[in-house]
Amino acid sequence: MPETFPAPPELYAEVAVPAAVTQTYTYRIPAAYHAMAGPGCRVVVPFGRQTLIGYVVAIHEQLPAALAAKPAGQPSAVKDIADWIDETPVINDEILKLTQWVADYYYAPWGETLKVALPPGLDVRLEDWIELTEDGRRAVQAGSVSPRTRNGRLLAWLVEVGGAVRLDDLPPDRFGKNPRQVARELEHLGLVSLTTRTGEATVRLKRRLVVRRIERPADQPERPLSPAQARVLAYLDETPTALVSELVAEAEVSPAVLRQMAKKGLVEIVPETIRRNPLAHLAPLPAEPAPELTPEQRQACEAVLAAHDSGRFRTFLLHGVTGSGKTEVYLAAISAVLQRGGSALMLVPEIGLTPLLARRLIQRFGSLVALLHSSLSPGERVDEWERIRSGDARVVIGTRSAVFAPLVNLRLIVVDEEHDTSYKQSESVPHYHGRDIAILRASRLNCPVILGSATPAIETFQHTVVGKYTRLELPQRIGNRSLPEVTLVDMREVFKRHREPRFISDELQTAIAETCSQGEQVMVLLNRRGFASCWLCRACGFVMGCPYCSVTLTYHRTDHYLACHYCGYTTPPPGRCPECQGEGIAYVGEGTEQLEARLRELFPTLAIARLDRDTTRRRGAFERIFNDFASGSLNILVGTQMIAKGHDFPNVTLVGVVSVDAGLMMPDFRAPERTFQLIAQVAGRAGRGDRPGRVIVQTYRPEHYALATGCQQDYRAFFEQELIQRQAAYYPPFCVLATVIIRHERELEGQALGEKVAELLRAAIPQAASADAPLRVLGPAPAPLARLRGEYRFQILLKGRQRMQIRHALGHMLPALTDTERRHVFIEIDPIDL
Using the minimum distance from each CB to ligand ADP, give the nearer residue, 360 or 801.
360
Considering the complex, what minimum distance in angstroms separates the CB of residue 359 from ligand ADP?
12
Using rule CB under 6 A, residue 297 touches ligand ADP: yes
User: Among residue numbers 309 through 338, which ones bind ligand ADP (CB under 6 A)?
Assistant: 320, 322-328
CB of 478 or CB of 602, closer to ligand ADP: 478
Residue 516 counted as an annotated binding residue: no
Q: Is 711 annotated as a binding residue?
A: no
Residue among 320 and 434 whose Cβ is closer to ligand ADP: 320
My answer on whether omega of the bond before 780 falls inside 30° of 0, hence cis, is yes
In sequence order, the 6+-apart residues with CB closer than 8 A to the CB of 738 are 797, 798, 800, 806, 810, 827, 828, 829, 830, 831
To the question of whether residue 301 is assigned a binding role by annotation, the answer is no
Q: How far is the CB of 108 from ligand ADP (least distance, A)?
A: 33
Cα separation, 217 vs 221, in Å, equals 9
293 binds, among Zn ion, ligand ADP, none (CB under 5 to 8 A by kind): ligand ADP
Closer of 186 and 357 to ligand ADP (Cβ): 357
Q: Taking the complex as a whole, how short is the minimal distance between the CB of residue 454 and ligand ADP, in angstroms? A: 7
Nearer to ligand ADP, 363 or 725 (CB): 363
Size of the site for ligand ADP (CB under 6 A): 14
Instruction: Note whether 299 binds ligand ADP by CB under 6 A.
Output: no
Q: Which does 567 bind (CB under 5 to 8 A by kind): Zn ion, ligand ADP, none?
A: Zn ion
Contacts of 135 (CB under 8 A, 6+ apart): 189, 190, 191
The neighbouring-strand residues paired with 395 are 344, 369
Which of Zn ion, ligand ADP, none does residue 327 bind (CB under 5 to 8 Å by kind)?
ligand ADP
CB atoms under 10 Å from CB of 44, counted, come to: 16
Residue 44 vs 293, nearer CB to ligand ADP: 293
Residue 298 or 498: the one with the smaller Cβ distance to ligand ADP is 298
Is 546 annotated as a binding-site member?
yes
Is 59 a residue that touches ligand ADP (CB under 6 A)?
A: no
Minimum separation from the CB atom of position 526 to ligand ADP (A)? 25
308, with CB counted inside 10 A (0-12, 13-18, 19+), is buried
* Interior/surface letters 692-701, b for 16+ CB within 10 angstroms, e for the rest: ebbbbbbbbb
CA-to-CA distance for 549 and 566, rounded, in angstroms?
A: 7
Binder of ligand ADP out of 21, 82, 249, 478 (CB under 6 A): 478
Residue 370 CB, nearest distance to ligand ADP (Å)? 21
Pick from ligand ADP, Zn ion, none: which does 92 bind, CB < 5 to 8 A by kind? none
Choices 200-208, 318-326, 540-548, 575-583; region in contact with Zn ion by CB under 5 A: 540-548
How far is residue 235 from each of residues 172, 242, 245, measured CA to CA in Å?
42, 8, 13
Q: How far apart are CA 194 and CA 175, in angstroms?
A: 16
Distance CA 697, CA 685 (A): 14
Comparing CA positions, the residue from 558, 589, 585, 588 lying closest to residue 573 is 585
Closest CB to ligand ADP among 61 and 292? 292
781 binds, among Zn ion, ligand ADP, none (CB under 5 to 8 A by kind): none
- Residue (of 738, 481, 468, 524) closest to 641 by Cα position: 524
Say whether residue 549 binds Zn ion (CB under 5 A).
yes
For 6, the 3-state DSSP assignment is coil
Q: By CB under 6 A, is residue 484 in contact with ligand ADP?
A: no
Among 146, 294, 443, 487, binds ligand ADP (CB under 6 A): 294
693 binds ligand ADP (CB under 6 A): no
- In this structure, is the dihedral angle defined by the CA atoms of residues 610, 616, 617 and 620, taken in order, positive or negative? positive
Indicate which of Zn ion, ligand ADP, none lies near residue 201 (CB less than 5 to 8 Å, by partner kind): none
CA atoms within 13 A on the CB side of 395: 24
Beta carbon nearer to ligand ADP, 325 or 484: 325
Q: Cα dihedral angle (282, 287, 288, 289), rounded to 10 degrees?
A: 120
Of the candidates 265, 291, 530, 547, which one interacts with ligand ADP according to CB under 6 A?
291
The DSSP element (H or E) to which 314 belongs, if any, is: strand 314-320
**Cα–Cα distance between 463 and 719 in angstroms, integer?**
12
CB of 481 to ligand ADP, least distance (A): 9
Helix (H) or strand (E) holding 698, with range, is strand 694-699
Q: How distant is the alpha carbon of residue 98 from its chain centre?
A: 17
Identify the residue among 402, 546, 608, 797 touching Zn ion (CB under 5 A).
546
Contact 171, 36 (CB under 8 A): yes
CA dihedral 461, 466, 467, 468 (to 10 degrees): -70
325 binds, among ligand ADP, Zn ion, none (CB under 5 to 8 A by kind): ligand ADP
CA distance 50 to 543: 52
Please tell me the distance from the alpha carbon of residue 462 to that of residue 476, in angstroms, as a whole number. 22
The option from Zn ion, ligand ADP, none interacting with 564 (CB < 5 to 8 A, set by class) reads Zn ion
Smaller CB distance to Zn ion: residue 129 or 566?
566
| Closest CB to ligand ADP among residues 395, 707 | 395
Q: Does residue 425 bind ligand ADP (CB under 6 A)?
A: no
Partner that binds at residue 324, options Zn ion, ligand ADP, none, CB closer than 5 to 8 Å by kind: ligand ADP
What is the nearest approach in angstroms of ligand ADP to the Cβ of residue 460?
Answer: 16
Q: What is the DSSP letter of 266?
A: S
- Asked whether residue 577 is marked as a ligand-binding residue, the answer is yes
Q: How far is the CB of 318 from ligand ADP (least distance, A)?
A: 8
Site membership for ligand ADP, residue 356 (CB under 6 A): no
- CB contact at 8 A, 271 and 653: no
Question: Which stretches within 472-536 are classed as H helix?
Answer: 491-498, 506-517
Q: Which of 548, 578, 716, 788 binds Zn ion (CB under 5 A)?
A: 548
Query: Cβ distance 435 to 415 under 8 Å?
Result: yes
Residue placing its CB nearer to ligand ADP in the complex, 158 or 682: 682
Subset of residues 559 to 598 that bind Zn ion, contact rule: CB under 5 A: 564, 566-567, 569
Q: Position 510: which residue type? A: T
Q: Which residues are annotated as a binding site?
A: 537, 540, 546, 549, 564, 567, 577, 580
Residues that bind ligand ADP (CB under 6 A): 291-294, 297, 320, 322-328, 478
Residues that bind Zn ion (CB under 5 A): 546, 548-549, 564, 566-567, 569
Q: Which residues are annotated as a binding site for Zn(2+)?
A: 537, 540, 546, 549, 564, 567, 577, 580
